Amino acid sequence: MRVLSTGELPERIELGGEDLVVHGDNLDVLPLLPDGAFDMIYIDPPFNTGKAQRRRTLVFEPDVEGDRTGFGGRRYRSQLLQALAYGDTFDDYLGFVAPRLEHARRLLAEHGTLYFHIDYREAHYCKLLLDEIFGRDCFLNEIIWAYDYGGKPRSRWPAKHDTILVYVRTPGAHHFDAEAVDREPYMAPGLVTPEKVARGKRPTDVWWHTIVPTNGYEKTGYPTQKPAGVVRRMVAASSRPGGWCLDFFAGSGTLGAVAAGLGRRYVLVDSHAEAIDVMRKRLGTAE
């Protein structure tokens, strides 16, 4: 595994014999990566951009070739537009992720797939943005990762899930290996045959999986670390052996650890020195 910082980057990054970890702003790194190089991209971006942004809103305009059908069969074109500015750094997310998602689309192979891991409070906005960048026909799945930890407020239903939006580069041409994914137990084993109970069932779009245990072997101490079991399903299903995987909000390096274990290649990018240190230790490389 090779580790580079922004000041060491070449004019173009060629993917070759070594996996790659890059310390730098992903918006500086992504333009250097080759078009169509990645089987799959998984990102779990932060929610707070650290600066004031603009909120976008969805508007509709009459268009006979539009992407939506309204009353009486009339066709409309939907478009995300910048609308209102807010001082609160948490209010807008789209202005931060949009240019990065545009690069993600360019970097995916024709058979490639994007997994966008997002908080439930922003998922609906990001779905509209992804429809605009990738195209609505490129939407594949909305995966719900359900877990049970943390506080449980008594004034509302406790929020215990994340959303993972899945988009493909080319509709119908994406790679998906359902048999490569680990099976899970039936919730009602008495309703199926013993053979099916022994084999287990393929996961649906609702994944019940615990968080990284506090005393678990994969725990790195990085605050936003995601469990390898969740990421492994994506890598196994949507990348080929030897194929390249990308995470440009890499954090603790879970995608790299999973990719290496499954015989895939990886590029990881993060702007935080703490994340790079964690990845060095986790992925077996030191200065």
178 domain-assigned: yes
Whether 78 and 102 map to the same domain: the answer is: no
15 domain-assigned: yes
* CB contact at 8 A, 39 and 109: yes
The per-residue pLDDT for 44 is 93
Q: pLDDT tens string for the chain (287 positions)?
A: 889 988 888 999 999 889 999 999 999 999 999 999 999 999 999 764 344 434 454 555 666 666 555 545 666 666 654 443 333 343 567 888 999 999 999 999 999 999 999 888 788 889 999 999 999 999 999 999 988 877 788 898 888 889 999 999 999 999 999 999 999 999 899 999 999 999 999 999 999 888 776 666 677 777 778 889 899 999 999 999 999 999 999 999 999 999 999 999 999 999 999 999 999 999 985 34
Question: Cα separations (Å) of 57 from 39, 125, 131?
Answer: 31, 8, 13
Instruction: Output the domain CATH number for residue 99.
Output: 3.40.50.150
Tokens of 95: 């202005």
Whether 242 and 257 map to the same domain: the answer is: yes
Three-state DSSP class for 60?
Answer: strand
Torsion sign, CA atoms 90, 94, 95, 101: positive
Whether 191 and 211 map to the same domain: the answer is: yes
137 domain-assigned: yes
Which residue blocks in the chain are alpha helix, DSSP H?
26-29, 94-107, 123-134, 194-199, 228-238, 254-261, 273-282
Show which of 87, 111, 141 is a domain's final residue.
Answer: 87
Whether 41 and 69 map to the same domain: the answer is: no
CA dist 286 and 16 (Å) reads 20
Whether 128 and 32 map to the same domain: the answer is: yes
Whether 234 and 194 map to the same domain: the answer is: yes
Whether 105 and 128 map to the same domain: the answer is: yes
CA dist 68 and 88 (Å) reads 32
Whether 147 and 241 map to the same domain: the answer is: yes
For residue 141, what is the enclosing H or E element? strand 139-146
Whether 64 and 83 map to the same domain: the answer is: yes
Q: Angle 38-42-44 (CA atoms, 0-180°, nearest 5)?
A: 150
* CB contact at 8 A, 39 and 111: yes
Domain that holds residue 55: 51-87
Whether 198 and 117 map to the same domain: the answer is: yes
59 domain-assigned: yes
Tokens of 27: 């918006």
**What phi and psi values does residue 132 have, to the nearest 5 degrees?**
-70, -40
287 domain-assigned: no
116 domain-assigned: yes
Whether 230 and 169 map to the same domain: the answer is: yes
Three-state DSSP class for 30?
Answer: helix
Answer whether 0.75 is exceeded by the pTM.
yes
The per-residue pLDDT for 214 is 67
Whether 15 and 38 map to the same domain: the answer is: yes
Please state, as a whole number, how many other Cβ atoms lie within 10 Å of the Cβ of residue 161.
Answer: 18
Count of domains forming the chain: 2
